[in-house]
Structure 1
Amino acid sequence: MKAILVLALQSAWARRLTLGIALVSIALSTALLLAVERVRSDARTSFTQSVSGVDLVVGARSGAVQLILYAVFHSGSATQNMRWESFEALATHPAVDWAVPLSLGDGHHGFPVLGTTPAYFERLRYGDRQALAFAAGHPFADVFEAVLGSEAAAQLGYRPGDRITLSHGITEFAPEHADKPFAVVGILAPTGTPVDRTVHVGLEAITAIHLDWAGGAPLPGLVIPAEQVRKFDLQPKEVTAMLIGLKRRGDVFRLQRQVNNQKGEPLMAVMPGVALDELWQTLGMVERLLLALSALVVMVGLTGLMATMLASLNERRRELAILRALGAGPGGIFLMLTCEGLLVTTAGALLGSALLTIAIAVLAPLAQPYGVHLSLRPPAANEWLLLASILATGLIASLVPGWRAWRMALADGLTPRN
């Protein structure tokens, strides 16, 4: 067997130019296939970690995915708000460690406005439990102060000290609360999550800009100047949702069941990880399609290897005949051709893995602002399975030239052909 491997290596090296092209093709297709799997896996992890450290998301009873889309991704619309009294009751529950209210519905030039408390910047985590950080400024402390996500600030060109006005809704033609401007006091560092596209203000600010509004429109003949809003009770009467962190993770199912089954206001509690996983399942078809296309590229590369080896057999007739004349049996010729193809496939798979590692090292910082945290790590179980599938397919593709050489007769190689 050792002699056959040596012969296969020497034969492959003698035809290194043609086989090198096939090797590069296999390497690039392997890198593409592994890259799709790595990005799919890491993107899914990043997606499900848009909020980490949050045990429950509570809001008006609707659907789990709908609640997560609105509360976490600020997409869609809430069917109904929850009363402030319900928030307070849950915030003071013995099992609750902390609670952060969320109030949504307003916007600024297409970016959602989130009303919350300063605890939001302390408690919210993303990714691998990373805390929010400020690229400039500080959290809001007054009614008419705002903190911008990195993407919102970059696209609109805002810096701390600028003044902005909010609109009643996030559509382009939504009416503005022009009489109550906000000062930008902070800009958050990029997170790759919906936080980057959000304008954050205090809960009292949401109440303040709506004091002279009713039914989604300003009240005729009633204008309350910004300097007078502090004379009013700015405590909100309702919020959109709330984030909850528990003292013990073991209480999550008990509190969830208690919220979902409580009498009175219909509320629902959702575990973010479960709901985000359910949401990701809707993208499963796209995942499978990308993986199938990448696998097809690998098949094309391996087919090219098989075609190269088959085409070279006509040029190697005399070489193979001499080997058989020197004592090599048909089985030895078959093994030599098979090992040659398998060696090229293995080298291509290893080179493709190395190319992927280099690409991740270069592109990981560029992908992070888009919410995909690519990690330099050993291949996961799925990636090892893909590599094994590539080698197995390469072995099958190499059997065809080996079988063709096995069938060549000694006289066929020594007899000149017209």
Structure 2
Amino acid sequence: MIHLLKIASQSLWNRKLSTLLTIFSIAISIMLFLGIERIRLGAKESFSNTISKTDLVVGARGSEIQLLLYTVFHMGNATNNISWSSYNNFKNHPDVAWTIPFSLGDSYNGHRVVATDENFYEHYQFFSDKKVEFLEGKRPENIFDVALGSEMATKENLKLGDNIILTHGISDGPGILLHKHNPFKVTAILNETGTPIDRSAFITLEGMEAIHINWQNGTPTIENNKTNSNLITKDNIKIEQITSFLIGANSRISSLSLQREINNYKKEPIMGVIPGVALSQLWTTVSYAETALQIISLCVVIVGLIGMMVSLYTSLESRRREMAILRAVGAGKSTILILLVTEAAFLSLFGVIFGVFLSYFLVGIAQPIILSHFGILISFTSIEFYEYVYLILVIILSVFIGLIPAVKAYKNSLIDGLSIRI
């Protein structure tokens, strides 16, 4: 057996170019397979870890997924707002430990503007136990202060002390209705989180109310154009409504009774959603894309193995004399078969090993790009158990695929004897 391994390795070495190309093709397929799996798992993990240790998300009654999307992922628009009195009612509930209010609706060059209070910086958690931290500056305290997510600050080339003018409504660009009379001053830049926080701007609730003083039906009145930001103080601002809020309950058991109380609230139609349940529903909604990625990754591996078989098969014509010599020196049918199968196993084994290294190299290159454009953090996680199973199956399958050219090589050697001339 050792002699066969030496012959197989020497044979592959004598055909260096075709061998390297075959190994590279298999490695590329394994790289894509593992790379797609990393992206799939990274997307799922990013969705799941965007919010943690929050018991309920509360907003206007409607779709649970929609509520989760516009509150946590800053995607889409709210169906309705909820009153400040309803928020205070549950904020002061004996079963509630903390709350985080959100007011949405404005933007800056396509980046969402989120109005909130100090509880966001104290209680919001993601990726299990991570909190929002400041890279530079301090949290917004004055009415026209703003904190920027790390990605937004980098993309828009903004720094501490810069002034920005917000756009009314959600716009991909500068927009039409601008709050130009009330510019906001950048007082903080947040640390990178790998969540939608990086692509957003955060102002105070009073700031959101201030820029909409005297607005009616989504448009400014003449009085609003004359409003000077220097005349606006927190004392003369009254918050009347918000978009949604998060609840941290005193216990998980109390969160269930809170949810029932919120869903049966009589004063206005609101609902409470458990984030984990809504995230599961959200991922089920996009499960078709997940299945498609898995199918694509498997097809890529199959194509790589077929390429290996074609390479071995097409090389047989130039190896007919080699096979005939082996037969002449006493190599039996099993020896020829084992030799070709061993070569196939070598090719797939080295292709798999090389593909694993390439996949981590690909993740290293793609990680900042995917995080920047899609907000998905692709972690350098170890290979999962099922991925090891797939890789072992690839090697086993390559052995069976190697039988096809092996049988052909044996038949050629019987026909040719030593008469072939190359």
The TM-score normalised by the length of structure 1 is: 0.89
Contact 1:317 1:413 in 2 (8 A): no
The correspondence of residues 358-373 of structure 1 with structure 2, limited to 5 A, is: 358-361=361-364, 363-365=366-368, 367-370=370-373, 371-373=375-377
Q: Distance in 1 between matches of 2:156 and 2:78?
A: 27
How big is the shift at 1:100?
Answer: 0.4
How big is the shift at 1:327?
Answer: 3.5
Q: Deviations over 1:66-88 (max 9, x none)?
A: 11121122222211111222212
How big is the shift at 1:220?
Answer: 4.5
Aligned length: 418
> What is the aligned partner in structure 2 of residue 157 from structure 1?
157
> What is the aligned partner in structure 2 of residue 300 from structure 1?
303
Amino acid at match of 1:304: G
The correspondence of residues 133-148 of structure 1 with structure 2, limited to 5 A, is: 133-148=133-148
SS in 2 for 1:201: strand
2:388 to 384, 387, 394: 384
Cα distance change, pair 314–236 in 1 and its aligned pair in 2 (3 A): same
> What is the aligned partner in structure 2 of residue 192 from structure 1?
194
Q: Which moved more, 1:56-65 or 1:391-400?
A: 391-400
Amino acid at match of 2:43: A
Cα distance change, pair 401–213 in 1 and its aligned pair in 2 (3 A): same
Cα distance change, pair 347–165 in 1 and its aligned pair in 2 (3 A): closer
Contact 1:191 1:369 in 2 (8 A): no
SS in 2 for 1:176: coil
Contact 1:109 1:170 in 2 (8 A): no
Unaligned runs of 5+ in 2: none
> What is the aligned partner in structure 1 of residue 15 from structure 2?
15
Are 1:413 and 2:420 counterparts?
Answer: no
Q: Distance in 1 between matches of 2:268 and 2:366?
A: 48
Q: Deviations over 1:333-380 (max 9, x none)?
A: 212211211121111111111222334345545544442323233201
> What is the aligned partner in structure 2 of residue 73 from structure 1?
73
Q: Distance in 1 between matches of 2:284 and 2:129?
A: 23
1:398 to 386, 402, 416: 402
Cα distance change, pair 129–369 in 1 and its aligned pair in 2 (3 A): farther
Contact 1:190 1:369 in 2 (8 A): no
The correspondence of residues 68-107 of structure 1 with structure 2, limited to 5 A, is: 68-107=68-107
Cα distance change, pair 94–329 in 1 and its aligned pair in 2 (3 A): farther
Q: Which moved more, 1:17-26 or 1:316-325?
A: 316-325
How big is the shift at 1:237?
Answer: 1.8
Amino acid at match of 2:170: I
How big is the shift at 1:324?
Answer: 3.2
Q: Distance in 1 between matches of 2:110 and 2:315?
A: 62
The correspondence of residues 204-353 of structure 1 with structure 2, limited to 5 A, is: 204-221=206-223, 223-230=226-233, 232-353=235-356
CA-atom RMSD, angstroms? 2.7
Q: Distance in 1 between matches of 2:141 and 2:25?
A: 59
Contact 2:316 2:409 in 1 (8 A): yes
Cα distance change, pair 4–207 in 1 and its aligned pair in 2 (3 A): same
Q: Distance in 1 between matches of 2:311 and 2:220?
A: 76
Contact 2:8 2:343 in 1 (8 A): yes
Q: Deviations over 1:156-208 (max 9, x none)?
A: 33322223333332345443333333322112233332222322111122222
Q: Distance in 1 between matches of 2:184 and 2:318?
A: 79
SS in 2 for 1:147: strand
Cα distance change, pair 326–239 in 1 and its aligned pair in 2 (3 A): same
SS in 2 for 1:414: coil
Cα distance change, pair 209–408 in 1 and its aligned pair in 2 (3 A): closer
> What is the aligned partner in structure 2 of residue 44 from structure 1?
44
Q: Distance in 2 between matches of 1:257 and 1:339?
A: 65
Amino acid at match of 1:400: I
SS in 1 for 2:233: helix
How big is the shift at 1:105?
Answer: 1.4
Q: Distance in 2 between matches of 1:80 and 1:328?
A: 81
Amino acid at match of 2:267: G
Q: Distance in 1 between matches of 2:211 and 2:420?
A: 95
Cα distance change, pair 358–218 in 1 and its aligned pair in 2 (3 A): closer
